[in-house]
Amino acid sequence: MVAVGETGTFGLGETDEYGENYKVTTKMQVTVVSAKYVTPAEVDTSNKPEQGQYVKLTLTLKNVGKAPAEIMTYGMMKWEDDQTAAQDASTLEGVGDGPDLDTTYKPGQAVTGSLVLDVARRGGRVSYVGVDDPDADAAFVVKLPK
């Protein structure tokens, strides 16, 4: 689990055509630049958060491996805390503002960008679950500040 100001590394890989024999093909690094709770107006929307609270999560993703890696966050970001089971936190809010984290990273390439997520309340954890590894719940987990 990584918190604001911290960096972690995770593997991305693939399975065979039968969805078995998972192997890591490259490594990615995630740095949590900031996590700021925002109002709808601060992200230029009139939509109220369905779960209760928007959080603008700024991440730097970098391919530190030897093969390209594709990252797709939409529908793959889950929020949970000790009281609430995992919920999809993806929104389309803020899409198009600044660099897009959803892209293919060649070895050595990095992007710093933001996601606006819809969470039930402050705190908890956000997980990126877009992985093919059958033994992993998430590629990386971000601890949100209270």
| Interatomic CA distance for residues 98 and 27, integer angstroms | 24
Quick: pLDDT tens for 75-124: 999 999 999 999 999 999 988 788 999 999 999 999 999 999 999 999 99
Q: Is 93 part of a structural domain of the chain? A: yes
Note the pLDDT of residue 112: 97
Q: What are phi and psi of 42, to 5 degrees?
A: -70, -20
Note the pLDDT of residue 8: 97
Question: Which whole-number Å values give the CA distances from 42 to 46, 47, 116, in the listed order?
Answer: 10, 11, 11
Domain containing 104 equals 7-143
Q: Is 2 part of a structural domain of the chain? A: no
Q: Domain count of the chain?
A: 1
Locate the DSSP E strands across the chain: 7-14, 23-38, 53-63, 69-71, 77-80, 87-88, 103-105, 110-119, 125-128, 140-143
CATH of residue 44: 2.60.40.1240
Note the pLDDT of residue 4: 98
Q: Is 1 part of a structural domain of the chain? A: no
Q: Is 63 part of a structural domain of the chain? A: yes
